[in-house]
Amino acid sequence: MANRVFITGDTHGSVDVRKLGPGFFPIGCELDKEDYVIVCGDFGLVWADNSESNYWLRWLEKKPFTTLFVDGNHENFDMLDSMETEEWHGGLVHRVRPSVLHLMRGQAFTISDRSFFCMGGARSVDKAWRTPHKSWWPQEMPSSEECAQALDTLDALEWKTDYVLTHCAASNVQYRLNPTYENDELTRFLFDIERKLDYRHWFFGHYHEDRDIDERQTAIYNDVVEIIPSDGGDELYRVPGGFRAE
């Protein structure tokens, strides 16, 4: 039986991480560490080496599933960058805890016999009101080296993958979400990828909405979607109630 894979949106550290708690147990109690819950950015628990962050990381570690996340714009990138990298399921990760892993930018992973291309990062619109290296990090936007790595990975995949996991959306998709949102170098980079890439479905967080933009693009926040294999290809099952806090 294939491992189960669930996709959800931003957890924002202790603010929204509770949505991975009791409300998920009707499904979560059936899982094991070979099943995966993937957070589409703004994980927020690699923020500070303090009792609060460590408490919630221990809390996640005790869950029956493994937690994976792409980075958003609200992460402590100095802490992430200080961690050793290792190869996991075909790509590079930071292992925050034994079963809490950061899926690094521009990497591809094989999870439950499916390919996932991951590209975290986003621009903080409120960075003028934040403190550099305390509540905002310039590494929130991918470097030229990370973008080059992403293109190398896609070349190796021959520009075909099952799923794409990002924090922000491609420019063309962001416009459909809200035409007032400003584009930046990352949304434009993702637009260039989206035009060329053969993919099954693309999930992104960041916008604090649960919304299908079209049949292949989903903004996700509090909802949870399970990827369920079927004879005609994967089905995306929106778990009733998702991880919504009670």
Indicate which CATH number applies to the domain containing 157.
3.60.21
2 or 108, greater pLDDT = 108
Evaluate whether residue 245 is within a structural domain: no
Evaluate whether residue 153 is within a structural domain: yes
Tell me what pLDDT residue 241 has. 56
Say if CB 164 and CB 202 are below 8 A apart. Answer: yes
Angle at 194 (CA atoms; ends 189, 198), nearest 5 degrees:
140
Average pLDDT over the chain reads 93
Q: Residue 212's beta-bridge partner residues?
A: 218
CA dihedral defined by 43, 44, 50, 52, rounded to 10 degrees? Answer: -80
Tell me what pLDDT residue 75 has. 96
Evaluate whether residue 244 is within a structural domain: no
103-120 pLDDT, tens digit each: 999 999 999 999 999 999
Locus of tokens 């903080």: 124
Residues 32-60 have a mean pLDDT of 94
CA dihedral defined by 203, 205, 206, 212, rounded to 10 degrees? Answer: 70
Evaluate whether residue 163 is within a structural domain: yes
Residues 226-234 have a mean pLDDT of 86
Evaluate whether residue 246 is within a structural domain: no
Domain count, the chain: 1
Evaluate whether residue 218 is within a structural domain: yes
Enclosing domain of residue 23? 5-238
Evaluate whether residue 106 is within a structural domain: yes
Using 50, 70 and 90 to split pLDDT, how confident is the model at 196? very high
Whether the predicted pLDDT of 100 surpasses 70: yes
Evaluate whether residue 191 is within a structural domain: yes
Residues 84-105 have a mean pLDDT of 98
Tell me what pLDDT residue 240 has. 66
Share of the chain above pLDDT 90, in %: 81
Q: How far is CA 63 from CA 22, 56, 118, 138, 176, in A?
A: 10, 11, 23, 32, 36
Residues 186-214 have a mean pLDDT of 97
